[in-house]
Structure 1
Amino acid sequence: MDHEKAHEGLTPAVRAAYLERIGVADPGAPTEANLARLQWAHLRAVPFENLSIHLGEPVVLDPAALVAKVVDRRRGGFCYELNGAFAELLRSLGYRVSLLAARVFDRERLGPPFDHLALRVDLAEPWLVDVGFGRFSHQPLRLDERGEQADPQGVFTIVPGGPYWELDVLMDGAPQYRLDPRPYPLADFGPTCWWQSTSPQSPFAKGATCTLPTEDGGRITLSGHRLIRTAPDGTRDERRLTDAEALAAYREHFGIVLDRLPAQPTVPAQPGEAVAAV
């Protein structure tokens, strides 16, 4: 099956609402420049967050549900949700998109298969597009390029990894994830997404995180009750918030309106994607 043609895509009304959500009035034709513009707009508007896990909400890997969460509910999500929804938008705009699976590096240890969902977008050449990894490239990366690729977030390289056909994606020399270049349907990510959403051993179970890049190249993050502002040079300013201040911070900084705070974790934080991404 041709995975990028496995469904009908967004209606014109939903596509327009999605573009309004990310602040893009005219997406233009499918080009490298317009793809880069769409990726940065999405990163700036739609936060990387795992709040559903701590609010007791199910994570539903259905294209319509993913788009509705981002567009209608004005929420973000983690990789399966963000890249899954962005794939729908890109396809509706005429881009050829495939879903790629990756295993996330936790120091030297690799996570399970389908640990992460990224996108391949084919134009004149293939591009790696990722709006669901938190602190990562701001621009698409050339998937076939083996040299250094400069990005506002750092220097990225994509090199052969593992014993087979996988590719390791590195940021400033540090491995981020091992990419399987074969396309997969969204349903294949379901079991690992369920584990990430429900297991006490999942890095996403360790605490609620919500984060966005700032226009100047920094980052703002709400991790539990800690509001963290990271400057472009890496310096951090951290402030602990009250419950009322945390609810206000979700609204002010991320456009997320909650009637209650996410539950506090019952297990201590460990290294992993939910932590490393901020």
Structure 2
Amino acid sequence: MDVKAYLKRIQVDSVGKPNLETLQYLMNQHLFHIPFENLDILCNRWIRLQHGAVFKKIVYQKRGGFCYELNSAFSALLQELGFQVSIVSGRVRTADGGFGPEYDHMALIVHLNEPWLVDVGFGDSARQPLPLSGKKQSDLSGCYRIKKIPNEKEAYVLEKKQQSRWVSSYRFSTTARRLRDFAVMCAYHQTSPTSIFRQQLILTRATLQGRISLSDDSFIHTIHGQKRKIPVQNIDVKRYLMYKHFGIDPDSIPLHHISCQKSNKPGDFSASSFNESISCKGRNLHDTNKS
């Protein structure tokens, strides 16, 4: 692995010892600079779960990816930097309160003085490593804890506090897995009509003060929990936003071929008028260094 290229991709100049402070910093930089996205899936481009292919996409092609890509790449980087890391299987909470199948999600356990859950591939979730001890931790995205599942060996659940109650995000086992173990579910999420990744555009990344996201029909900028949603259906505007906010070369993504892409409609914003429309209270929301 070209560690220098990877660190440059996440704008890290130097790395300290493999400790919790360094892990926190690397995790934040990864979340700030590499988006969670499903563009290849919508374009019917097969995602290969191979370290070389994933590295090339994320680092050299300056793309993002979904959980299997982001967490496997981050795992490889951490190991190169001296961290002890295990890839683990997660089962995402379903609408009926149950959980998906094994290998539905990929996360990481980093072993320091104690094991820590690390996840750079779950969208708007914890921005810092979480201890398996059950200790609550809060960041800009919310308050989180990891709860041991009774009567199940090595089984835990990640929970996020919503108002006064704790809601499960996904359950996971601390059993170490291999990258190829996730191949079947990775293929499912790329091909099944029931997969959320086949149904809509997902392009999002964390910022210092919130999050920016591009969906099928809108651009959403969140600052300290306050969301500003701008309708966007014009393909040229989407191309502009992909490059401006996510660093993705729009010529590499045939947006007009994406199945869920809606056709342009009269009255959509132009790229120039979009700049004006999201300037709010003297702050231009395109200034991602302040977002």
* TM-score bracket, shorter-length normalisation: 0.7 to 0.9
Do the aligned residues in 2 keep the contact of 1:99 with 1:185 (CA within 8 Å)? yes
Deviation string, structure 1 residues 3-56 (Cα, Å, up to 9, x no partner): xxxxxxx2xxx1000000000000111010000000000000000001110112
Aligned match of 1:265: 260
Alignment partner of 1:254 out of 246, 249, 266: 246
Aligned match of 1:151: 139
Unaligned runs of 5+ in 1: 1-9, 267-278
Aligned match of 2:53: 65
Counterpart CA distance in 2 for 1:84 and 1:104 is 18
How many residue pairs align between the two structures?
A: 252
Counterpart CA distance in 2 for 1:234 and 1:112 is 34
Do the aligned residues in 2 keep the contact of 1:224 with 1:264 (CA within 8 Å)? no
Q: Give the alignment of 1:20-31 within 5 angstroms.
A: 20-31=8-19
Alignment partner of 2:224 out of 228, 232, 236: 232
SS, match of residue 103 in structure 1: strand
Counterpart CA distance in 2 for 1:238 and 1:109 is 34
Alignment partner of 2:76 out of 75, 88, 107: 88
Deviation string, structure 1 residues 204-248 (Cα, Å, up to 9, x no partner): 1111110011211x1111112321112322433232241100011
- The alignment's C-alpha RMSD in Å is 1.4
Counterpart CA distance in 2 for 1:94 and 1:156 is 27
Counterpart CA distance in 2 for 1:189 and 1:234 is 36
Bigger-Rg structure (1/2):
2
Q: Give the alignment of 1:1-278 within 5 angstroms.
A: 10=1, 14-107=2-95, 108-143=97-132, 145-161=133-149, 164-165=152-153, 166-172=155-161, 173-216=166-209, 218-259=210-251, 260-261=254-255, 263-265=258-260
Counterpart CA distance in 2 for 1:213 and 1:94 is 26
Counterpart CA distance in 2 for 1:177 and 1:116 is 8
Moved more, 227-236 or 239-248: 227-236
Unaligned runs of 5+ in 2: 262-291
**CA shift for structure 1 position 149:** 1.9
Paired AA for residue 76 in structure 1 = G
Do the aligned residues in 2 keep the contact of 1:101 with 1:184 (CA within 8 Å)? yes
Do the aligned residues in 1 keep the contact of 2:18 with 2:83 (CA within 8 Å)? yes
Deviation string, structure 1 residues 30-88 (Cα, Å, up to 9, x no partner): 01000000000000000000111011211110011111111011000000000000011
TM-score, length-scaled by structure 1: 0.87
Percent pairwise identity: 37
Counterpart CA distance in 1 for 2:198 and 2:117 is 28
TM-score, length-scaled by structure 2: 0.83
SS, match of residue 57 in structure 2: helix
Aligned match of 2:267: none
